[in-house]
Amino acid sequence: MALLLSVGGGRTFAAEKTLKLAPNSSSAILIERDTGTVLFNKNSHKKLPPASMTKIMTMILIMEALDSGKIKLTDPVRVSEYAASMGGSQIFLEPGEEMTVHDMIKGIAIGSANDASVAMAEKIGGSESSFVDMMNKKAKQLRLNETFFKNVTGLPAAGHYSSAHDMAIMGKELLKHEEITKYTGLYEEYLRQNTSKKFWLVNTNRLVKFYPGTDGLKTGFTQEAKYCLTATAKKHDMRVIAVVMGAPNPKERNKQITEMFDYAFSQYATKKLYDRHQIVKQVKIQKGNKQRLAVVTSESISVLSKRGEKENKVNPQITVTPDLKMPIKKGQQVGTLSIVKGGKTITKSPLLASENVKSASWWSLFKRTIGHMAKSS
């Protein structure tokens, strides 16, 4: 039985009749990205080896480091002996070689490169083990109760596991960084352009080329995990994420993902309410060096409905934390956006500060007070 629930604990549809999707897999899940609503579920909480789908979390931390300014796309990444020694999928990095963050992401997103993954982990975390600690910390923040990482690549390791449910949540989190699909959506690309070691990358996710609207996210394979894929596709305003774990071969894995996509797009539709980082409110700041702060969404917000279903009016409700303490950091949660439909809250999403706000100096506060007094007199 496929119950339509939300991975965020919100939207609940009525129970569907039994769906014969992903029959030849150990587990599977299908969700709508914006609302997190589960459209299909098969053993999605079963702990299994995720293989290279692990790199979804690796890419989440890379994108967060870019957003925070810790790294830039043009930064050079120097390859260590250890990173260069990685087996499996690789772009054949050599010890001491330098490649930009931009090209490293290409190697990870398109070619599933283990050597590039470790090189980026060392760049951001200082070592792979420190970066793995960051991955597990992020997993806890996302409440991924069926996930634990031992490395950044997904190479076989005892105690390294995830679930289809948790992979879908990771996919949802990665897609908040919409620019990632500029990498994961490429079917082919070159590295080391204009050199004697030009390297051709072909996306391990063939659906990027063969299923319209597919632009990610990550394949995986080991003998233990079999064939896995966390995929995403978008049609009109609706984006879905499908996960298959433990398929017997690539053809069957892709077939099962395709059938889940077909089901989602034929049966459901979404209505976009807000884009990511859209300003929803201007709030007054009492003791900051700026007197007003634009509050923005943390992700795109939509309403999901079954095709042919009568649309009920939705009511957005914005709550901002009172008496915000200085300093305020860009990206800090300062409120909550709730979407209410039919008297029930169907979506809750953090609202963020659009910029940094520092404490105002006593002189600025004094001049501000004098100015207010002059206006009121």
Rounded to whole angstroms, the Cα distance separating 253 from 196 reads 36
Rounded to whole angstroms, the Cα distance separating 354 from 279 reads 8
Rounded to whole angstroms, the Cα distance separating 79 from 121 reads 11
Q: Hey, CA dihedral for 67, 136, 156, 163, is it positive or negative?
A: negative
Tokens 């690309």 -> residue: 189
Paired with 235 in beta bridges are: 238
Number of Cβ within a 10 Å radius of residue 167? 32
Q: For residue 98, which amino acid is it? A: E
Q: For residue 216, which amino acid is it? A: G
- Residues 295/352, Cβ–Cβ less than 8 Å: yes
* Helices 114-125 & 128-141 angle (0-180, nearest 10): 80
Q: Which residues contact residue 282 at a Cβ distance below 8 angstroms, ignoring those fewer than 6 apart?
A: 292, 293, 294, 295
Catalytic residue from among 55, 106, 150, 226: 55
Helix (H) or strand (E) holding 228: strand 226-235
Rounded to whole angstroms, the Cα distance separating 63 from 60 reads 5
Residues 331-348 as b or e (16 or more Cβ within 10 Å = b) = beebbebebebeeeebbe
Listed residue (339, 352, 343) closest to 35, CA to CA: 339
Catalytic residue from among 6, 25, 27, 52: 52
Listed residue (293, 301, 234) closest to 271, CA to CA: 301
Paired with 271 in beta bridges are: 303
Q: For residue 150, which amino acid is it? A: K
Rounded to whole angstroms, the Cα distance separating 219 from 86 reads 18
The response to whether 218 counts as a known ligand-binding position is yes
The answer to whether residue 55 is catalytic is: yes
Rounded to whole angstroms, the Cα distance separating 27 from 24 reads 9
Rounded to whole angstroms, the Cα distance separating 94 from 158 reads 28
Catalytic residue from among 6, 27, 80, 112: 112
Q: Which residues are catalytic?
A: 52, 55, 112
Q: Which residues are annotated as a binding site for substrate?
A: 218
